[in-house]
Amino acid sequence: MVHFVPADEANDTDEPSPSVAPVTYLPGAAPGMKRRSPLEEPASGSAPREKTVFEKRAVVPESDGETVDVSNVVLNVDEEATERRERAEEVLLQRLRARSLSVVEAVAVMKDLDLDDGEVHEMVERFVHLGYLSDELLADQIIHTHHVRKGLGRAGVETEMRRRKLDAAVMLDKLEELPDDELERAIEEGTKRIAQLSRFDDQTIDRRLNAFLMRKGYSFQIVRVAVKAAMDSRNGSSTVRFR
């Protein structure tokens, strides 16, 4: 047990008091100052303490001066972003199952789902890489359905490609690949159509054939020649010659 000797008694003894090393205070400290925790705010008038990296990431101030733990905020945001991208991907796949989309059409679909530009660009690149998106394949489909099956002329095919917002370079290349048989196709389409107009007079047939072929995208010059050839075909007297 430690025994404390009163100061007056200690002075009464003849024994020399042991030497004690002088107390050295740290910078900013003084006798009688209360010890502060390193997490406490500094006293008024002194420089503010720099927060640690953990403190900066883990807490944010509230309006009433208290702090809130936000250590899970980043994780929650990442999870929400992942779920949003997965939903967008599923929607885009459903649309592609219904029909092919151009790259521009796919971008519009994803932007409607509140994806930011970076997420849209990343998803487009991935779908193009996987072959789900291709302006070239879509151009080939349009040529088959509108030029081969529906008998549309070059202008009609180009109009459909523009409506689907295909890449301009792809569209130009595909149109140049079309065979140069516009007149033959227009006459063929006009001849088939005129068989359905036999109950009308010549003037009405002429007007309806013109409108029909113009809607299919044939030029005015080709339409006039094709209508005349179709009208003459009723009597087997077509005068059109092909080289």
Per-residue pLDDT of the chain (243 residues; tens, 9 = 90+): 554 445 454 455 455 554 555 555 555 555 555 555 444 555 555 555 555 443 444 444 555 555 555 555 445 557 887 888 888 899 999 999 999 999 999 999 988 887 888 889 999 999 999 999 999 999 999 999 999 998 899 999 999 999 999 999 999 999 999 988 899 999 999 999 999 998 999 999 999 999 999 999 999 999 999 999 999 988 665 444 444
Report how far residue 117's alpha carbon sits from residue 111's, in angstroms, rounded to the nearest whole number. 8
Report how far residue 86's alpha carbon sits from residue 88's, in angstroms, rounded to the nearest whole number. 5
Give the number of other Cβ atoms within 10 Å of residue 145's Cβ. Answer: 13
- CA distances to 64, 65, 137, 154, 231 from 43, in Å: 20, 17, 72, 83, 103
What SS3 class is residue 219?
coil
The reported pLDDT for the residue numbered 211 is 94
- CA distances to 17, 23 from 20, in Å: 9, 9
- Smallest CA-to-CA distance from 130 within 159, 187, 177, 92 is with 92
Q: May I ask the CATH architecture of the domain 182-233? A: Orthogonal Bundle (1.10)
Domain boundaries, given as residue ranges, for the chain: 74-130, 135-176, 182-233
pTM of the model: 0.60
Contact between residue 115 and residue 107 where contact means Cβ atoms under 8 Å apart: no
Contact between residue 195 and residue 206 where contact means Cβ atoms under 8 Å apart: no
Report how far residue 24's alpha carbon sits from residue 32's, in angstroms, rounded to the nearest whole number. 13
